[in-house]
A = this chain, B = another copy of it.
């Protein structure tokens, strides 16, 4: 498999895990900047037509991967692939952030939920025709509210 390398960096108000929103959906509009490295900027053509974009990135400060983890929203251990926790194999995160516009070569975004300086791996347009599915069964998230939920240090590298 070809090596995966950062294509940019994500700037956010969050310096450490404690207090960082656990998802874009509960980020209350926190703003950030997506700075692509110089070689990749041409790929941003047409991006401004989209209201929301997926950011794929590396949880670079997460602890070693765990196969069982107690998620922020639960009190018991769950299989890591049944959670969105950062301490997962390959440590890839994805967040559907709101695109506010361009500022020079950077993207201004809102609803960020990642740490400042997070390495960016990819950007994809958020398209409801591809990303929305009617889903009823959501496993252990059933009845759990993430409203206002923020992270703590449990998945942070010591």
Tell me whether A4 and B90 are in contact (CB under 8 A). Answer: yes
Mask, A74-88, CB within 8 Å of B = 1, is: 000111111110001
Tell me whether A89 and B49 are in contact (CB under 8 A). Answer: no
> Which of B7, B94, B129 sits near A90, CB closer than 8 Å?
B7
| Assembled-state Cα–Cα distance A77/B45 (Å) | 9
> Which of B48, B89, B94, B125 sits near A83, CB closer than 8 Å?
B125
| Residues of chain B lying within 8 A (CB to CB) of residue A96 | 131, 133
> Which of B60, B67, B124 sits near A43, CB closer than 8 Å?
B67
Q: Output the least CB separation between A101 and chain B (Å).
A: 12
Tell me whether A89 and B43 are in contact (CB under 8 A). Answer: yes
Q: Which chain A residues (130-144) contact chain B, with CB distance < 8 Å?
A: 130-133, 135-142
Complex copy number for this chain: 2
Q: Output the least CB separation between A130 and chain B (Å).
A: 5
Tell me whether B50 and A137 are in contact (CB under 8 A). Answer: yes
| Assembled-state Cα–Cα distance A83/B7 (Å) | 16
Interface presence of A127 (CB below 8 A): yes
Q: Which chain A residues (3-57) contact chain B, with CB distance < 8 Å?
A: 3-7, 23-25, 40, 42-54, 56
Given A43-B68, A82-B47, A92-B92, A133–B1 Cβ distance below 8 Å?
Answer: no
**5 residue pairs bridging A and B, Cβ less than 8 Å apart:** A1-B4, A5-B90, A47-B139, A49-B82, A81-B123
| Assembled-state Cα–Cα distance A138/B67 (Å) | 36
Interface presence of A100 (CB below 8 A): no
| Assembled-state Cα–Cα distance A140/B48 (Å) | 10
